[in-house]
Structure 1
Amino acid sequence: MTVPLFLLVFAVCVVVIGSVLAVLMLAGTPRYRTEPEHLLALFDRALGDDLGEDEWNATILYPIRHSDYLDGVRRRARQLMEDHGRFGRLSRNKSLLDKEGKAELRALRDHLNARTQLERHRVHK
């Protein structure tokens, strides 16, 4: 009686473990793809003082590999933070960027928005 019970438990374990392995091997790796709309929304929130440093860093410090242009915008925004931002400013009820930094970020945001609109216009023609 113990041999059939052992074989039944063994077969169930093989089926369960095999199923889990099959699902893991067939499932694709989740990928986050930063699009221009994500950067525009992030910049809008930063300009409106409604953005935390953690969210800024999570987006700006992560390279964008699918678009050299977007990665250049990301690098420029990172440089703006290094030049005009002070970490810990939010905890003192101050803006993430100083006045000059906000002006440069607004210009960067406007440029990105104009380019995005131009690309959409080209695609819809």
Structure 2
Amino acid sequence: MQLFFIVFAVCLLVSLGTVAALMLSRTPRYRTDAEDLIALFDAVLDNRANQARWDSVIGYPIRHDAYLESLRRRCQHLMEAHGRPWQVAQGGSLFSRQGREELISLRAHLAAHQALNQGEYSA
């Protein structure tokens, strides 16, 4: 009978500890920053990114920065207009030539915006 109470107490403590840990922990959050977008743009332009990587970054809303959210939406539109995900499997680019040119301009604009925010831009 003592063994039963010991096993019951240990199981109860483990269960309560697990429930307490789950109740006190926060939901993990992923915040897309400008550096993440620049790295993605560079990877796409160098043909190192695939459709899944693009969708995982661009498909996730950016709620903490309105500028980055508008840029993300422009990237979604860019994929709809100029995306060629079927060519990535064959070693091709994720975007058409015009899409890559627009992505280069978006990357340059984002880099200039970041430099301006960090005080590194002098005109």
TM-score, normalised by the number of residues in structure 1: 0.91
> Highest CA radius of gyration, 1 or 2?
1
Deviation of 1:92 after TM superposition, in Å, equals: 2.7
3-state secondary structure, aligned to 2:30 = coil
> Which of the residues 87, 98, 119 maps onto 1:89?
87
Identify the residue that residue 74 of structure 2 maps to in structure 1.
76
Shift of 1:22: 1.3
Whichever residue aligns with residue 43 of structure 1, its letter is F
Deviation at 1:87, TM superposition (A): 2.2
Corresponding position of 2:33 = 35
Letter in 1 for 2:88: L
Matches of residues 78-117 of structure 1 in structure 2 within 5 Å? 78-117=76-115
Determine the C-alpha separation between the residues in 1 that align with 2:13 and 2:32.
Answer: 39
Give me the identity figure in percent: 45
Cα distance in 2 for residues equivalent to 1:23 and 1:121: 43
- The letter for the 2-side match of 1:101 is G
Q: Report matched runs for 1:8-47 at 5 Å.
A: 8-47=6-45
Match of 2:61 among 53, 60, 63: 63
**Count of residue pairs the alignment pairs up:** 120
Distance across 1 between alignment mates of 2:87 and 2:73: 21
- Normalised by the length of structure 2, the TM-score is 0.92
Q: Compute the displacement of 1:68 (Å).
A: 1.2
CA apart distance, 1:76: 0.5
Aligned residue type for 1:10: F
* Unmatched segments (≥5 aa) in structure 1: none
2:118 aligned residue: 120
* Contact kept in structure 1, 2:45 and 2:100, CA below 8 Å: yes
CA-atom RMSD, angstroms? 1.2
